[in-house]
Amino acid sequence: MGSPPSDALSGSIGPDGIHRKLIRVYFEDTDFSGAVYHANYLRFCERGRTDCLRVMGVHHHELHKGEGGGLVFVVRRMECDFHKPARIDDLLEVRTVCLEAGGARAVLGQRIVRGETLLFEARVTVALVGADGRPRRFPQGLACAFKALQPRPD
Amino acid sequence: MGSPPSDALSGSIGPDGIHRKLIRVYFEDTDFSGAVYHANYLRFCERGRTDCLRVMGVHHHELHKGEGGGLVFVVRRMECDFHKPARIDDLLEVRTVCLEAGGARAVLGQRIVRGETLLFEARVTVALVGADGRPRRFPQGLACAFKALQPRPD
Amino acid sequence: MGSPPSDALSGSIGPDGIHRKLIRVYFEDTDFSGAVYHANYLRFCERGRTDCLRVMGVHHHELHKGEGGGLVFVVRRMECDFHKPARIDDLLEVRTVCLEAGGARAVLGQRIVRGETLLFEARVTVALVGADGRPRRFPQGLACAFKALQPRPD
Amino acid sequence: MGSPPSDALSGSIGPDGIHRKLIRVYFEDTDFSGAVYHANYLRFCERGRTDCLRVMGVHHHELHKGEGGGLVFVVRRMECDFHKPARIDDLLEVRTVCLEAGGARAVLGQRIVRGETLLFEARVTVALVGADGRPRRFPQGLACAFKALQPRPD
């Protein structure tokens, strides 16, 4: 296939500090109304967050198997606005920025757009927990990643 | 199987005006962290809303095929708090009440509990749209159903 | 809610040796074609297998946390025939029998029906693996459960 | 982002007549066993089939809105072998070829690999149905697409 398209899969962070990633709408994402099932926008956002961290060198399987012991991200709170429906075959862009970065909590702003049309937006509070379910402070690399993800004027 | 358990499937509305419905956690609901995947609580809530309407005589397939023309519910906004994780084999209860009932919009309060432990809660704004995607006023039966679903002192 | 409906949720095994369980079709199960998304029949079957074992006293969380060490079921092979579509609000019955029970492998026969209409059927080979991913022989209780699940003449 | 990565998203057909497409494993795809939930390999295969048709100019939304009247693909039969588990963050390749192309039915062969390791393979029979649920002959463009997708010696 020539050059590997894995970078394209994971998206990239622009000079404006926003991570952008493309997502295609498939059969599995839609429901009988003809539009994307509402909970699936949360799946799209989670792919955006995961790939945003990936391009900054943070990987779920490393957090989980690392010496910290079974670290995984959990979502604490989401405020979601469903503006317009996405449909089969649509090519969507998920945009992710970091709004607040604390020592054990980050608040991300996410938007899903189709061209210039805003379909969905969410404010997402995430934390990291250990195998015992208790919150953990962000490791250094992760804390830096969230700080680097602040939106910047162009 | 003796008496048909379909009522058990759909739950019921108590004298306190709250719809309660049991949901089992299966393989499909969990993720590699060992807990239920966050977006799946929204699926559980949607089952609760659907069954709550069902026991009041409102059915999606009738709205969709009725003379109104392709009516379907859409979620406009959700505020979600993820308190504690649910796990494989858990038996959860979804509780649904109506907090505000307007002519073309309703706000529902939903909680997911395991025994006495609150796992998840959401405030959900729903509306009804036609085949053209435009909002429609609630039909009489549906407006009555939402009004009947107001929480009541015991 | 009077008597607890959890038995209704898990279904039961009839005198014919067939486990039967009811499943409702929700928004999440359908796709834009108006029918249930094909891969979701596999989710329904997995719920049937899980509840079939549950009513015989076998629970995923006990296998997983037991001394055997992180035991989980895996599907090795499925042959699936999609006969007719299920639709929103449908009440389906999942029927599960054991066709072959070996020491480390079982072959189950599963059907999904709506009333008398056969919608889907599958032949499913399952095995048990440990935390290292290697196959394990079935514990005594599980082997007995599969043997007890053989179809019987009425 | 420089050149648009949408081609990378949809994969491509090699000189060997095989469509190849990359898929990332996210939280949503896994279950508490730590591996990808078995039914999700079917979702990955459906994305492969859809994108394979897309790169040949066949689009679900055009079939569905076209003059033929509400055409959608249905899966008639699948034989699935689950060889090895995929895990979080894995980069998988879905390979799709056409094994048999009839006038109203096609049989596709699909494999999911991680590097050189075969994880999953399926033989999938698909057909096209109209809004009435009845089978339709493949339109000319689609029949040609399936014929062009036959595996070729390098």
Say if residue B69's pLDDT is above 90.
no
Residue D48 to residue A42: CA distance in whole angstroms: 22
Strand ranges for B1-154 from DSSP E: 12-13, 19-24, 72-82, 91-101, 105-114, 117-129, 135-136
User: Among B50, B41, B117, B26, which Cα is nearest to B82's?
Assistant: B41
Q: Which tokens go with B6?
A: 């379909």
DSSP letter at A16? T
pLDDT the model gives residue A148: 86
Of the listed C7, C16, C29, C31, which one is catalytic? C31
For A6-32, give the DSSP string.
Answer: HHHHH-EE-TTS-EEEEEE--GGGB-T
**Do the bridges between strand C19-24 and strand C12-13 make them parallel or antiparallel, or are there none, so unpaired?**
antiparallel
Say if residue B78's pLDDT is above 80.
yes
pLDDT the model gives residue B68: 64
pLDDT the model gives residue D5: 46
User: C148 falls in which pLDDT band (50, 70, 90)?
Assistant: confident
Q: Which tokens go with B153?
A: 């002192």
Q: Calculate the CA B146 to chain-centre distance.
A: 12
Query: Measured between CA atoms, how close is D65 to chain B, in angstroms?
Result: 14
Residue A32 to residue B129: CA distance in whole angstroms: 13
User: Among D119, D50, D120, which Cα is nearest to D78's?
Assistant: D120
Residue A51 is among the residues annotated as catalytic for this protein: no
How much is the average pLDDT of D40-61? 95
For C20-62, give the DSSP string.
Answer: EEEEE--GGGB-TTSBB-TTHHHHHHHHHHHHHHHHTT--HHH
Say if residue D80's pLDDT is above 70.
yes
Q: Which tokens go with B1?
A: 């199987």
Query: Measured between CA atoms, how close is D5 to chain A, in angstroms?
Result: 5
Q: Which tokens go with A86?
A: 């996405």
| Binding partners of D (≥3 Cβ pairs within 8 A) | A, B, C
User: C6 falls in which pLDDT band (50, 70, 90)?
Assistant: low
Report which of residues B69 and C85 the model is more confident about. Answer: C85
Spatial neighbors of B144 by CB under 8 A, at least 6 apart, are none
Searching chain B, which residue's CA lies closest to the CA of residue A130?
Answer: B33
pLDDT the model gives residue A68: 64
How much is the average pLDDT of B11-35? 96
* Cβ atoms of residues D47 and D39 within 8 Å: no
What is the per-residue pLDDT across B95-152, written as a single tens digit (0 to 9) for each? 999 999 999 999 999 999 999 999 999 999 999 999 888 999 999 889 999 988 888 7
H or E stretch covering B144: helix B140-148
* Owner of token pair 């066993």: D33
Phi, psi of A40 (to 5 degrees): -75, -20
Searching chain A, which residue's CA lies closest to the CA of residue C87?
Answer: A32
Which amino acid is present at D119?
Answer: L
Using a 10 angstrom Cβ sphere, with 0-12 exposed, 13-18 middle and 19 or more buried, the burial of residue C132 is exposed
Chain C residue numbers touching A33 (CB-CB < 8 A): 27, 32
| % of chain A beyond a pLDDT of 90 | 81
* pTM, rounded to two decimals: 0.95
Residue B93 to residue B116: CA distance in whole angstroms: 10
| Lowest-pLDDT range of A22-26, D5-9, D45-49, D69-73 | D5-9
How much is the average pLDDT of B30-49? 97
Q: Which domains does chain A have, with CATH numbers?
A: 6-148 (3.10.129.10)
Residue D45 to residue A16: CA distance in whole angstroms: 36
Residues β-bridged to residue B23? B92
Report which of residues C8 and C20 the model is more confident about. Answer: C20
Using a 10 angstrom Cβ sphere, with 0-12 exposed, 13-18 middle and 19 or more buried, the burial of residue C133 is middle
How far CA D90 is from CA of A8, C77, C144, D48, D73, in Å, comes to 15, 22, 37, 16, 29
pLDDT the model gives residue C154: 61
Say if residue C18's pLDDT is above 60.
yes
Termini Cα distance of chain D: 34
What is the per-residue pLDDT across C38-61, written as a single tens digit (0 to 9) for each? 999 999 999 999 999 999 999 999
How much is the average pLDDT of D22-34? 97
pLDDT the model gives residue D68: 64
* Owner of token pair 């895990």: D87
Of the listed A7, A16, A29, A31, which one is catalytic? A31
Using a 10 angstrom Cβ sphere, with 0-12 exposed, 13-18 middle and 19 or more buried, the burial of residue C154 is exposed
Searching chain D, which residue's CA lies closest to the CA of residue B39?
Answer: D28
Instruction: Put residue D71 in one of left, alpha, beta given phi > 0 → left and psi -120 to 50 → alpha.
Output: beta
Residue A73 to residue A133: CA distance in whole angstroms: 10
Q: Collect all residues from C whose CB is shorter than 8 A from any CB in A.
A: 27-28, 30-35, 37, 39, 87-88
3-state secondary structure of B46: helix
Q: How many helices (H) and strands (E) does chain A have?
A: 4, 7
Residue B5 to residue C5: CA distance in whole angstroms: 8
Chain C residue numbers touching A27 (CB-CB < 8 A): 31-33, 37
| Lowest-pLDDT range of A24-33, B64-73, D134-143 | B64-73
ipTM field: 0.93
Residues β-bridged to residue D13? D19
* Cβ atoms of residues C43 and C35 within 8 Å: no
pLDDT the model gives residue C8: 83
What is the per-residue pLDDT across A41-66, written as a single tens digit (0 to 9) for each? 999 999 999 999 999 999 999 999 87
pLDDT the model gives residue C68: 64
pLDDT the model gives residue D148: 86
| Binding partners of A (≥3 Cβ pairs within 8 A) | B, C, D
How much is the average pLDDT of C145-154? 82
For D83-125, give the DSSP string.
Answer: -S--BTT-EEEEEEEEEEE-SSEEEEEEEEEETTEEEEEEEEE
Report which of residues A147 and C1 the model is more confident about. Answer: A147
| % of chain C beyond a pLDDT of 70 | 94
Say if residue D11's pLDDT is above 60.
yes
- Taking all residues of chain D, what is their mean pLDDT, rounded to a whole number? 92
pLDDT the model gives residue D1: 35
Instruction: Put residue B62 in one of left, alpha, beta given phi > 0 → left and psi -120 to 50 → alpha.
Output: alpha
User: A8 falls in which pLDDT band (50, 70, 90)?
Assistant: confident
pLDDT the model gives residue B4: 41
| % of chain D beyond a pLDDT of 70 | 94
CB atoms within 10 A of CB A151: 12
Using a 10 angstrom Cβ sphere, with 0-12 exposed, 13-18 middle and 19 or more buried, the burial of residue A144 is middle
Residue C145 to residue C55: CA distance in whole angstroms: 10
User: Would the CB atoms of C85 and D33 count as touching at under 8 Å?
Assistant: no
CB atoms within 10 A of CB B82: 22
